A and B are shown apart, each in its own frame.
Chain A
Amino acid sequence: MPSAQQQPFPPQGYIPAASALPGIELFMPAPVVEQEQAVVDFKCPQCGATTAYCIQERGLTCSYCGFYEPPHQAVVGKGAEAFEFTLEALSRAAHGWGVERLELQCQNCRAATSLPTGKLTSTCPFCGSNRVVQHAGDQNALRPRFLIPFGVVPDACRELATHWLGSSWMTPSALQRLARLAEFVPIYLPFWTFDARTRADWEAEVGHSETERYYEDGEWKTRTVTVWKWESGRAALFIDDLLIPGTSRLSAVLLNRLKDFDTRQLVEYEPRYLAGMQAQAYDVQLEAAWQQARAEMREQTREACCDQASTSEIRNFSMTLDFSDETWRYALFPVYVAVYRYEDRAYQVMINGQTGTMAGQRPVDWGKVWLAVALMLVPGLALALLGIITLIFGIGVIFLVFGLILLIVGGIFAFKTVQKAREMEHV
């Protein structure tokens, strides 16, 4: 170890700390100072007008003088800092923000406004100034520390939506033409991301088909029987970046359909990204989101255990699953939200602001659906009927058998079609 004479003491970046023992001096690394500014206002340094983040330009821009400033944060990706489920963090997360609304004074025109604590951004209704609210201090770990910037430009959204409206045969033919699509609103939505290792020990009875010979009615016959054998194993998974929506204000079904975000594009949070945009804070608590995530993780692990069995016939399955290395992050992900009207009814549609994946409600033309169901069932029914009629001639058995097979296959497809139609309409 270098002597004290060769190095300055204390080392750079160290500050004095309280010592519990006389005669011993203590120094610790200086804590990183988080920015204190509770509310950030965006003004153009050139002309003083209000600036906003432009998705197309991927930076802060002034629509008056053309000022442009890119954000300063580099991509951190999967190396983004994650937090453990300490009792302290869970307790802090459960208590939330502590206030129902924030009282803010506009730094530009001094007008007083009131903002629900669930909102992270606002535009002054009096002077149009853009503001980003930051809850610093004790809530450090529970303010968004990362986000994925918008990659899909607003102009592309309408085209995507129009194409999507006409992409399913189940929707009314006039939907694409008559649907009145409102403007797509870019909004940063809160998401929790979870990482964990799962290790599960399982055991189950696994069925193996075996043929056996038996003597009946004066002759040897063969039959297939299922022999059950106990099997056991161990499965270990690392589940990386499982996303759970942190907001309950939008349809969870739709959010789950478009959460194919690429977390390798995560950047460190910077207020510039939110200037002029809408952004929501979480209202789904960490513990509730983790419960949901755990449910998904254990199902993934259970499937991995079942895959280890030598056949897919399983009974009396039991498993014990241990979680370890659990971490979480709170981040903002980009989503476009819009509403369109068709026949005096409103339907919601969302676009993943990074990948362009669409999810939304669409009206179903049930006439088309039932016609399709009928077309799937009729051939089987007709063939079966023919088989019954021609039974007396002997060949009816063949028609009956094929008819029943067609009926079963048609029935399965019909069931899936109706299910898909229901999913499309109800979210």
Chain B
Amino acid sequence: MSELTLPVDIASVWGADLEPRFCPRCDWRYLAQPGAAATRCPHCARAELQPLAAPETLAFATAEPELVAASTLSAEALAQCIQEFAASIPFAPQDLDPATLRGRLQRCYLPLWLVDADAQAVWQAEVGFDYEAASHREHFDDNRGAWDTERIIETRIRWEPRVGRLQRAYHNVAAPALEADAALRQGLGVHDLRGAQPYAPALVERALVRLPDRSTADAWPDSVPAVQRVAAQECQQAASAQHIRDFHWTPEFSGHNWTLLLQPVYATYYLDDERQPQALLLHGQMGQVMGARRASPQRAQRMTLILVAIAAVLLILSLVCGGVGVLFPPLLIAAGLGVLLAVAVGVGALAPIIIVWRFNRQQAGE
């Protein structure tokens, strides 16, 4: 496979009629169903995806999809996650409404490289064998004048050196297919690949599939540590040991075969005070949300004005009370209390602005 050649027929690789699209703002590239309504870019939400009209290189479109990670998030759980996200922002923008966010949800898939490779290597390691040893704990008490002995069985490890040769095939070792993979993992979390199912075209119906932007040559060095971990576990198993450490090997790889694993996510967006779209991604299994959290200064200002108005009214009423109180002294107390309350409300009116300012500043710092 040449990663950089224009595919003859995407349908023959994906088993579905998909057309390539791209975002003119962030240049993320996708496969989508032809004729589908214009969709905002799930990544930046700042532009709508455009078809790739020019016959330019379309990297990695011929990479075959092999597996799809299970999408275990139910509709109710998804709604709950959105609800919690909206509730976590104080003075959220008006557009950040759970129902609005749900209405804009777009199903997407993020790619992960899978590689099969044959390995030949000479290896050495220390393998550990569990064994049990007896120890004791004693307790003495003057009042009883006797010792209580408790026998404790401890499991310890006996380490022994081993060397060997291996000739094994390793299948479906994962490697990042996107340059932004590390940031996506940090923000969204990792997908559980254990329940991954074989790819079927129906799974990508009405969904956007992000194409890899990382070559297999770049991804291969990321696979090698994973292969080494699997090889170490196999050598431990071969030695019938319970532990392994200090595994070193000199491998030679051949027979590389690259395919894709698709990880489900959901994309949506909301508009902030400046009417700028803020993209959100939701983990397709755990529901974790990744995206900008922006509180609304406008709403905070509105709240402040309302509180200031209330404080002003209270102050006026208190002054009037005070005036009448000259003739009717008990009213002076009410007037004093009213002034205090007005001052308190007036000072408290600053709170919404401060809360929003601090929140947005904290989010920007993160």
Interface residues of A (CB under 8 A from B): 1, 3-4, 9-11, 14, 17-21, 23-29, 84-88, 90, 204, 294, 298, 302, 315-324, 326
Residue in contact with A298 in the complex, picked from B140, B161, B238, CB distance below 8 Å: B140
Selected contact of A321 from candidates B134, B137, B168, CB within 8 Å:
B137
Which listed segment binds A: B67-75, B141-149, B204-212, B311-319?
B141-149
Q: Which residues of B contact A21 (CB under 8 A)?
A: 234, 237-238
Chain A residues contacting B153 (CB-CB under 8 Å) are 87
Most buried by A among B156, B164, B165, B235: B164
Known pairs A20-B238, A316-B142, A323-B138. 6 more at Cβ < 8 A?
A1-B248, A21-B234, A85-B133, A86-B134, A87-B131, A302-B140
CB<8 Å pairs between A and B, sample of 16 = A3-B250, A10-B163, A19-B238, A20-B238, A20-B239, A21-B237, A21-B238, A23-B167, A24-B166, A85-B135, A298-B140, A317-B140, A317-B142, A320-B140, A322-B137, A326-B133
CA distance A18 to B237 in the complex (A): 11
Q: Find chain A residues with CB under 8 A from B162 CB.
A: 17, 26-28
Contact partners of B139 in chain A: CB under 8 A: 318-321
Pairwise interchain contact A321-B133, C-beta atoms closer than 8 A? no
User: Interface residue count for B (Cβ, 8 Å)?
Assistant: 37
The answer to whether B134 touches A319 (Cβ under 8 A) is: no
Complexed CA–CA distance, A11 and B124 (Å): 11
- Quick check: B161 and A321 within 8 Å, CB to CB? no
Contact A204:B163 (CB < 8 A) given known A9-B122, A20-B240, A87-B153: no
Could you tell me the dominant secondary structure of chain A's interface residues? strand
Q: Say if the beta carbon of B179 comes within 8 Å of chain A.
A: no
Q: How far is the CA of A1 from the CA of B228 in the complex (A)?
A: 15
Secondary structure at the B interface, as helix, strand, loop or mixed, is strand
Give the contacts of B96-137 with A (CB-CB under 8 A).
Answer: 122, 124, 131-137
Asked if B192 is an interface residue, CB under 8 A from chain A, the answer is no
In contact, A27 and B164 (Cβ under 8 angstroms): yes
B105 to chain A, nearest CB (A): 46
Q: Which residue of A lies closest to B248 (CB)?
A: A1
- Given the known interface contacts A3-B250, A21-B238, A23-B167, the answer about A323 and B122 at a Cβ–Cβ threshold of 8 Å is no
A323 and B136 alpha carbons, distance in the complex (Å): 6
Contact B142 A318 (CB under 8 A): yes
Closest residue of A by beta carbon distance from B141: A318
Q: Are B160 and A29 in contact (CB under 8 A)?
A: yes
Bound CA–CA A316/B144 (angstroms): 10
Separation of A1 and B143 alpha carbons in the complex (Å): 63
CB–CB A24/B234 < 8 A:
yes
Chain A's closest residue to B168 (CB) is A23
* Mask: chain B, 207-234; 1 = CB below 8 Å from A; 0 = not: 0000000000000000000000000001
Of A18, A85, A90, A324, the most chain B CB neighbours within 10 A belong to A85
Q: Are A90 and B134 in contact (CB under 8 A)?
A: yes
Choose from A1, A11, A86 the contact partner of B132 (Cβ within 8 Å). A86
B142, A298: Cβ atoms under 8 Å?
A: no
Most buried by A among B131, B134, B147, B153: B134
- Which residue of B has the minimal Cβ distance to A305? B140
Alpha-carbon separation in the docked complex, A9 to B166 (Å):
13
Chain A residues positioned under 8 Å from B168 (CB to CB): 23-24
Pairwise interchain contact B163-A4, C-beta atoms closer than 8 A: no
A334 and B160 CA atoms in complex are apart in Å by: 36
The residues of B that contact A315 with a CB separation of less than 8 Å are: 142
Q: Once the chains are docked, how many angstroms separate the CA of A86 from the CA of B167? A: 37
Asked if A4 contacts B250 (CB within 8 A), the reply is: yes
Q: How far is the CB of A201 from chain B (nearest CB, A)?
A: 10
A11 near B163: Cβ-Cβ < 8 Å: yes
B135 touches A324 (CB 8 A): yes
- CB contacts (< 8 Å) of B143 on chain A: these are 316, 318
- Measured CB to CB, the nearest residue on chain B to A4 is B122
User: Please, which residues of chain B bring their CB within 8 A of the CB of A87?
Assistant: 131-134, 153
Chain A residues within an 8 Å CB radius of B166: 23-25
